[in-house]
Amino acid sequence: MKGFMLLPWWCWRRGRTMRHNQIWSVEEARHYDRRAQDFGVGFLSLMEVAGAKAAARWGTQLPKGRGLVLAGPGHNGGDALVVARYLARDHDTDVCFPLAEPQFAGAKGLKQAAIAHGARVVEVDDVIPSVAHYAWVVDGIFGTGFHGNLDPTVAQIFEAMSAAGTAMYVLDILSGVDADSGAYQGPPLAIASTVTFGGAKWGHFGYPGALYTGPLTIADIGLEWPTNGDGWISPKWAYGHRPVLAVGAHKYQRGRVAVVGGSVAMTGAPVMAGMAALRAGAGLVQLIVPHKARRRMAVPEPLMVWPSTGRGLLTTQDLEQLMRADVIIFGPGMGRETGVLALEQVVGLGKPLIVDADGLYWLAKRPDLRLPARSLLTPHSGEMGMLLGISAAVVDHNRVSAFHQAYRRYQTTLVLKGLYTLTGDAQILVNTANTPALATAGSGDVLSGIVAGILASAPQMSSAQAAALATYVHGWSGIHAARHHGRSVVATDLIECLGQAWHSVETEEEPPQLPQWI
């Protein structure tokens, strides 16, 4: 039967679990590819399934008009030739080898098969001036094998595509993107879709690679799935880790959160953190704020407030109040006047501690300070750079590397905020509930409150699990807030939408940027 392909036994799978949502390094991807071949699965069989699945994904999505398949000299080029063969049956398809034709065993057969199905081979010198005339382009030049700088010929093609706004469909990962970090120095491109194989790659979530991925689909081509490793958060994972409210539980059993922060110039930060903690499940929240700042604060009725008279240090009375808490947030709106001694005092209480905002500034002064169990840090790229003594740009160049470096130094759970927030400890989970609406003042204060509320109300949950769930809920609150307010979202909207966010968790609703499987 024309067009029918019987998939081998090793590409069929049962229901998916968290281990199927893994993110691989280049070396891990190569390892599982080699393992499949060690089991007797030929690389041409893997290539066939990969190309067939990518073509099936894109076949009904492609814009009308002639398209171009760019095939590289390696195995990614082989995948591209399989794609070209399938697409050429229903679409006018050109194939170009911008660097060289693939030379592996079987490559000539793949080329001839594509031609037999209607693909037309064109020379690169003819492609460069006519790229703008193609309705779509498939990138199969490098895949995960790229390193260094783009070849000038490829860069010239990409520049022409960038100027024309041509829709690009990517095999595995955009050529020019470092698959381990997401680093990319090529021109901006309009990525319509990426199909990757076996597992997602870190370059899909790094900077700026995440901006050049588009909707991500992971094709199961029969590679082995490890039982442990880094991964991305799925609706199933979030649902399975949500705290369940006990019938008959009273407010003291739902946990008590204390927020140490605030200043005359920043009175809203501790309030937002406190309200988010309540909305996230805490039974009681108390703000410990400077006496001068208290007089300028508009505090909602559900929050308790303790005005501190200490200067750079917490008083005995302040510490007595903090001893009642199950979880402490240290830093929102604090400013740079409180001092490192106050942080040392809070650490000495032995309570789970969330260090955020200006609290991170003081922690950077004492990297030897060991935080209590179930504690965590919530830096953005600039604050992470401060904790490590490097710039934000260096952090964003390889966020995974910076994350691991910070974990080794501080030995506690981390939340590295940003597009595709990273959470965890030795094992990293990536938040998939993302929206630009979160890029607003106070959003981080809301997140620290959500983490605290979950930690306080679910004492059996690890800080890594709480951090991952909190970022997912925080992301969903941003998605719902954007649905209500469009581009006019402010941090208080995130708090108001937390109820809807929890509903999305309860119903296992899929966030817009969730990777898909085929």
State the pLDDT at residue 3.
37
Q: Which phi and psi (to 5°) does residue 309 adopt?
A: -100, 5
CA dist 463 to 27, 78, 244, 455, Å? 29, 44, 17, 7
3-class DSSP state of 59: coil
Among 508, 457, 449, 455, CA closest to 474: 449
Dihedral of the alpha carbons of 410, 183, 31, 407, in degrees to the nearest 10: 0
- The answer to whether the peptide bond before residue 208 is cis (omega within 30 degrees of 0) is yes
The β-bridge partners of 353 are 328
DSSP 414: E
Among 191, 195, 234, CA closest to 218: 195
Choosing among 3.40.1190.20, 1.10.3720.10, 1.20.144.10, 3.40.50.2300, the CATH entry for 235-509 is 3.40.1190.20
Q: Residue 313 region, left (φ>0) first, then alpha (ψ -120 to 50), else beta?
A: beta
Using CA of residue 309, residue 313, residue 316, residue 320, what is the dihedral sign? positive
The β-bridge partners of 288 are 260, 306
CA dist 471 to 357, 442, 447, Å? 16, 14, 7
At 471, the amino acid letter reads T
Whole-angstrom Cα distance, residue 87 to residue 90?
6
Give every CB contact of residue 109 below 8 A, 6+ residues apart in sequence: none
| Domain boundaries along the sequence of the chain | 11-230, 235-509
Is residue 355 within 8 Å of 342, Cβ to Cβ?
no
State the pLDDT at residue 1.
33
pLDDT in tens, the chain (518 residues): 333 333 333 333 334 445 569 999 999 999 999 999 998 899 999 999 999 999 999 999 999 999 999 999 999 999 999 999 999 999 999 999 999 999 999 999 999 999 999 999 999 999 999 999 999 999 999 999 898 889 999 999 999 999 999 999 999 999 999 999 999 999 999 999 999 999 999 999 999 999 999 999 999 999 887 767 899 999 999 999 999 887 777 788 889 999 999 999 999 999 999 999 999 999 999 999 998 888 888 888 899 999 999 888 899 999 999 999 999 999 999 988 778 999 999 999 999 999 999 999 999 999 999 999 999 999 999 999 999 999 999 999 999 999 999 999 999 999 999 999 999 999 999 999 999 999 999 999 999 999 999 999 999 999 999 999 999 999 999 999 999 999 999 999 999 999 999 999 999 999 999 999 99
State the pLDDT at residue 248.
73
State the pLDDT at residue 252.
82
Choosing among 1.10.510.10, 1.10.287.110, 3.40.50.10260, 3.40.50.720, the CATH entry for 11-230 is 3.40.50.10260
